[in-house]
Amino acid sequence: MDFKKLRQDFPTLRADDAPAYLDNACVTLKPDSVIDMIHEYYTKTPGCGGRSVHRYGTKVSQSTTHARSKLQKYINAETAKEMVFTRNATHSLNQVAHGISWSKGDVVLTTDREHNSNLVPWLQLEQEQGIDHRVVTSNDDNTFDIEAFEEACGNAGSKLKMVSMSHVGNLDGVKIPIKEISKIAHDHGALVCVDGAQSTPHMKVDVQELDIDFLAFSIHKMCGPSGMGGLWGRYELLEGLRTIQPGGQTVKTSTYDSLEWANPPARFEGGLGNFSGMMATGAAIDYLSRIDMDAVNQHEIRINSIMTDGIKDLPGIEIIGPLDAKQRGGICSILMNDLPSHDIALLLDEAEGVMVRSGQHCVHSWFNDRGHQNGSLRASAYLYNTEEEAKLFAETFSEAVQAFS
Ligand SMILES: Cc1ncc(COP(=O)(O)O)c(C=O)c1O
């Protein structure tokens, strides 16, 4: 697989001042085909899909239906009716959390390294409805502690209703054994919701093989348009889920005092949709579907190994998670102790065009628990990154650390 060749598909990477873009865990760059599709919607068929029957409406309906089927194939869902278009992974996770009927004392388990999107909805439910959110502590190197998880399931007993965990952590790139987790959770009678924001862009994710119940993901991290995410759920579970956005599109019919809900996925897609985003999602999935995702995963690990080897011995810094890049995919997240992570991130861009993320990456809970208020500096690779960029990151970062020490 010639990953360098792919760079030609991305306008920002063709530019003379192309950056070494290493902030892919936040949002990825977009290829021409995705941008062209957004342009096509606005210039050729700027109508309303799913309702209007004129030419514009019909074309949009066809394109969005195709996009939904492409998503279904990408994650191997049983039917396209299980695919819900959302605004982002946060919206998807909220649809699950606030769509289920809870009883006081119901237990929800997460890990101790969740993005706020898979923590705050549960904390809100704890405050407002009295659910019992519990945290499964990871091993010291942030890898998953399956024994601690089994024990937590046992302790919760019949109160255990939901296990909701990120497949790959945005804090450290560490992947957790979802299939095993799902088996244990199901044996305890719980549902399994997976935050796939950091897995679906980088590896094959097969919802049937993993045997999970819900999957939330961010299309904007998959070469797709911003403002787009996805939710997959087993159809019978979606049928029982309350919509968090009732309105147009979500009912079959209504009277002044009654309504008949539409079937999924329409029930969850209230209001006029982001049609250009849905059409461009189809283009993004077409783009990724032509690439071997196992090769992408290996490529990212290669890039990460170069970054890791180039910085791991610097004084005063520490890589979050296992030192072995193979266990952190494309993410190299560095604790800075007293060094100013935002200043260093700014310097990397100004000096050499290296774009990384600094701060707490919406995983405040992990940093607060350990007293690392300064957060970390995170470099995250994707399919278009090169070994030269990884070396440039390591060199520039090393110089910056020396300058600020
Ligand atoms: C693991 C994880 N979960 C959830 C999210 C939230 O994604 P979104 O911005 O699509 O809501 C992110 C975003 O960085 C993430 O990395």
User: How does pLDDT run across 137-147, given as a tens digit for each residue?
Assistant: 999 999 999 99
377, β-bridge pairs:
334, 358
Ligand 1 midpoint to CA 189 (Å): 27
* Ligand 1 pocket test target in 94, 362, 380 with most atoms within 8 Å of CB: 362
Level-2 CATH architecture, domain 3-23+292-404: Alpha-Beta Complex (3.90)
Three state DSSP letters for the chain: CCHHHHHHHCHHHHCCCCCEECECCCCCCCCHHHHHHHHHHHHHCCCCCCCCCCHHHHHHHHHHHHHHHHHHHHCCCCCHHHEEEECCHHHHHHHHHCCCCCCCCCEEEEECCCCHHHCHHHHHHHHHHCCEEEEECCCCCCCCCHHHHHHHHHHHHHHEEEEEEECECCCCCCECCHHHHHHHHHHCCCEEEEECCCCCCCCCCCHHHHCCCEEEEEHHHCCCCCCCEEEEECHHHHHCCCCCCCCCCCEEEECCCCEEECCCCHHHCCCCCCHHHHHHHHHHHHHHHCCCHHHHHHHHHHHHHHHHHHHCCCCCCEECCCCCHHHCCCEEEEECCCCCHHHHHHHHHHHHCEECEEECCCCHHHHHHHCCCCCEEEEECCCCCCHHHHHHHHHHHHHHHHHHC
Judge contact between 231 and 113, C-beta under 8 A.
no
362 part of the active site: yes
Chain-centroid distance of CA 232 in Å reads 13
CA-CA-CA-CA torsion sign (93, 99, 104, 106): negative
Residue 337: count of CB within 10 angstroms of its CB: 12
Chain-centroid distance of CA 355 in Å reads 19
Measured from the Cα of 229, ligand 1's closest atom is 10
User: How does pLDDT run across 81-110, given as a tens digit for each residue?
Assistant: 999 999 999 999 999 999 999 999 999 999
Ligand 1 midpoint to CA 45 (Å): 31
Measured from the Cα of 362, ligand 1's closest atom is 14
- The closest of 161, 169, 164 to 136, measured between CA atoms, is 164
Ligand 1 midpoint to CA 403 (Å): 33
* Per-residue confidence band for 338, with pLDDT thresholds at 50, 70 and 90: confident
pLDDT at 52 over 90: no
Which residue's CA is minimally distant from atom 14 of ligand 1? 26
State residue 337's pLDDT score. Answer: 84
Tell me the C-alpha distance between 39 and 46, whole Å.
10
- What is the domain partition of the chain in residue ranges? 3-23+292-404, 45-289
Topology (CATH level 3) of domain 45-289: Aspartate Aminotransferase; domain 2 (3.40.640)
Decide the pairing of beta strands 160-166 and 214-218.
unpaired
State residue 236's pLDDT score. Answer: 98
pLDDT at 343 over 90: yes
Q: In this structure, which amino acid lies at residue 345?
A: A
User: How does pLDDT run across 268-318, given as a tens digit for each residue?
Assistant: 999 999 999 999 999 999 999 999 999 999 999 999 999 999 999 999 999
Ligand 1 midpoint to CA 42 (Å): 28
Measured from the Cα of 168, ligand 1's closest atom is 1
State residue 100's pLDDT score. Answer: 98
Judge contact between 252 and 262, C-beta under 8 A.
yes
Catalytic member of 26, 153, 193, 362:
362
Ligand 1 midpoint to CA 76 (Å): 21
Residues 6+ apart with CB under 8 A from 280: 34, 35, 37, 38, 41, 224, 225, 228
Pocket of ligand 1 (CB under 6 A): 25-26, 88-90, 115, 117-118, 166, 170, 195, 197-198, 218, 229
Ligand 1 midpoint to CA 402 (Å): 32
Measured from the Cα of 195, ligand 1's closest atom is 3
Judge contact between 280 and 224, C-beta under 8 A.
yes
* Per-residue confidence band for 51, with pLDDT thresholds at 50, 70 and 90: confident
Measured from the Cα of 117, ligand 1's closest atom is 4
* Ligand 1 pocket test target in 122, 218, 357, 366 with most atoms within 8 Å of CB: 218
Which residue's CA is minimally distant from atom 7 of ligand 1? 89
